[in-house]
Structure 1
Amino acid sequence: MDLRLVEYFVSVVDHGSVTRAAQALYISQPSLSQAIRHLERQLDVQLFDRSGRQLTLTADGESFVGPARRILADLDHAREKVRSVRELVTGRLEISALSTLAVDPLPEMTSRFQRRHPGVLVSVLDPGSSAGVVGQVRRGQTELGLTELPLADDALRTRELWSQDIVIVLPPALAAGLPDPVPLDAVAGIPLVLEFSDIHGGARVHDALDRAIGHVAVECAHRQAVWELVRHGAGATFLPRRIAESEVSGVVVRSTTPLIRRSVGFVFRPGPLSPAAEAFMGVAEVMRAERANEPAPQRPDPPTTASKRRTPGRTRG
């Protein structure tokens, strides 16, 4: 049914005549009369009695007035919903993210987005691996995925944000016997604490690290527990530098040689994105520009006499 015809019908009822309704609708009277007859043919009923000098509703017309008003009210409500979503007054955005990226940079992105668009609900899922992020985006479970790049999936589109330095995070006792930076050749002899998904969910952190990893001492499904296990001396782990230096205390943070870096960014399906997704990636682009101007991380100074008891490397605590 053409909803425009329903609007015309209600206008004729409200104005009491085709002439006044046509004037209110800014259309000609013959065009409006023809539209009403077309609606009657679609409904297979006669809505108005035209036998007298005045246009009056038939019984079928009387019974259609209520449903017609509800149709138009629902239409107005739907239009308002669409407008609210388009203008980011309300809505919902689903994002998949790797666990480390859910620590940094996703919280800052989400906070900035929410300050601008507090009515939009952001729902974050953690599928446990890069493959899981890609799968959820491909199936339409989430609109955006925040993961490591590049992807092997050519059917999806990507937008790179920046690169992250991957560092080794060690208990002080374990770091004491290791050079700084830590050669990848030495990683095979270090007991490691890794997230369960890092081991069983596809590539761990980086191909070079995957080849270097030898002794996995603890597998753990919980990210925060991994950090606590490292702090208590169960082994070392690998984290992006920003997370290691801001979130984990009482540990030694060291680079590897060669330096390990990974690119991170968004993955999404081809086609237009929702206004919320476009706005969220706009926030990320601002952060990308800000981080591009950040000074490079400074290597710690060599131990001095005053600090000779400290473990070489950067200690958090």
Structure 2
Amino acid sequence: MNIQQLRYVVETAERGSMTAAAAALYVAQPALSRAVRRLERELRITLFQRAGRGVALTAQGEAFVARARRVLHGVDALRGLGEHPGTGERDVLLVIAASPTLQASLALPILAALRDQGASAPTRLLGCGASREVHDLVAEGRADIGLCDHPVESELAVVPLGPAEVTLVSPAGLDLPDPISVDRLGDVPLVLPTAGTDRRADLDRFFEAVGVTPTVSVESDERSVWLESVRRGLASCIWHSAESLRLTGSDVVVRSFDPALHQELHAVHLAERSSPVKDHLLDVLRELSELRRSGPPPVPS
């Protein structure tokens, strides 16, 4: 799901016709229709039904559009701030702390989607080794928002962002099933974080919980080394699917787990530290998360 699809849906709902919506948005009608249908398939809902020569919202569509409008309102507010940043001393309007993985798989797609909507703002990304470091940077006021994939106890406000599928990224040519059972992980040489780090401790607890003794081929805390290890055929790595999609090609294979594994993503921030850019971005993230995680939206009574 992307913000452009939300604009297509809202415009179609307001004009009662995909043809009229496409004309208003200066896009080809077939392209708009395909984008809406893809969204319906992704969320497993039906947004529109035929109504004469046009379309009308279903009950599910009514609930979806209400949330979509809130997302677009936040995006439009961000665009206004980007056009009129004010007279503040900082050239950077937003500082986001995240691990290298989440910078690539979450922060950059968010910023790119906003840019595509004309809502870009100068942003600095701070790299972190673990979720605890993310929390510390936000708590110290050095970052406005932190993106995390592991829960950490702190006084920060938490905004759930929804689940990301965890996948196994392997060198091509391995004789492994897809999906792969978790208990097969013991037979797969892996590249893991360095022993003694927080991320390695998290993975070790996971392996212990599923009764697997991992075969460690390479240890490194550099994510680029993980991927290079896969490409050189040395080991497989466990990776968020959002980033793995970018890795598909002849040299790597991305497999799901059976049963499926998901990592809950969330943003953290200091509730008492407010800024227009931060507040509007968090509103957008909240609404997008609700749209993604709810599946078919609740039907109004």
Give yes or no for TM over 0.5.
yes
Q: Is the 8 A contact 1:112 1:283 kept in 2?
A: no
Other-structure match for 1:106 = 107
Deviation at 1:92, TM superposition (A): 2.1
Q: Is the 8 A contact 1:109 1:283 kept in 2?
A: no
Other-structure match for 1:231 = 231
Supply the AA of the counterpart residue of 2:235: G
Aligned counterparts of 1:272 and 1:162: Cα–Cα separation in 2: 24
Supply the AA of the counterpart residue of 2:170: L
TM-score scaled by structure 2? Answer: 0.59
Deviations 1:35-94 (A, max 9, x none): xxxxxxxxxxxxxxxxxxxxxxxxxxxxxxxxxxxxxxxxxxxxxxxx94499x965211
Aligned counterparts of 1:206 and 1:279: Cα–Cα separation in 2: 38
Q: Is the 8 A contact 2:92 2:124 kept in 1?
A: no
| Mapping 1:68-147, distance limit 5 Å | 84-85=85-86, 91-114=92-115, 116-118=118-120, 120-147=121-148
- The runs of 5 or more residues in structure 1 that have no matched partner are 1-82, 296-317
Secondary structure, aligned partner of 2:93: strand
Aligned counterparts of 1:117 and 1:231: Cα–Cα separation in 2: 36
Rg: which structure is higher? Answer: 1
Aligned counterparts of 1:279 and 1:94: Cα–Cα separation in 2: 14
**Residues 127 and 235 of structure 1: is their aligned pair in 2 closer, same or farther, counting only changes over 3 Å?**
same
Other-structure match for 1:184 = 182
Where in structure 1 do 4 or more consecutive aligned residues deviate above 6 Å? none
Deviation at 1:218, TM superposition (A): 0.9
Q: Is the 8 A contact 2:139 2:156 kept in 1?
A: yes
Aligned counterparts of 1:284 and 1:168: Cα–Cα separation in 2: 27
Secondary structure, aligned partner of 2:132: helix
Other-structure match for 1:152 = 153
- Number of equivalenced pairs: 207
Percent identity of equivalent pairs: 23
**Residues 194 and 284 of structure 1: is their aligned pair in 2 closer, same or farther, counting only changes over 3 Å?**
same
Secondary structure, aligned partner of 1:125: strand
Aligned counterparts of 1:208 and 1:238: Cα–Cα separation in 2: 12
What is the alpha-carbon root mean square deviation over aligned residues? Answer: 3.1
Q: Is the 8 A contact 1:84 1:90 kept in 2?
A: no
| Mapping 1:188-203, distance limit 5 Å | 188-196=186-194, 200-202=197-199, 203=201
**Residues 162 and 233 of structure 1: is their aligned pair in 2 closer, same or farther, counting only changes over 3 Å?**
same
TM-score scaled by structure 1? Answer: 0.57
**Residues 205 and 243 of structure 1: is their aligned pair in 2 closer, same or farther, counting only changes over 3 Å?**
farther
Q: Is the 8 A contact 1:137 1:267 kept in 2?
A: yes
Q: Is the 8 A contact 1:149 1:160 kept in 2?
A: no
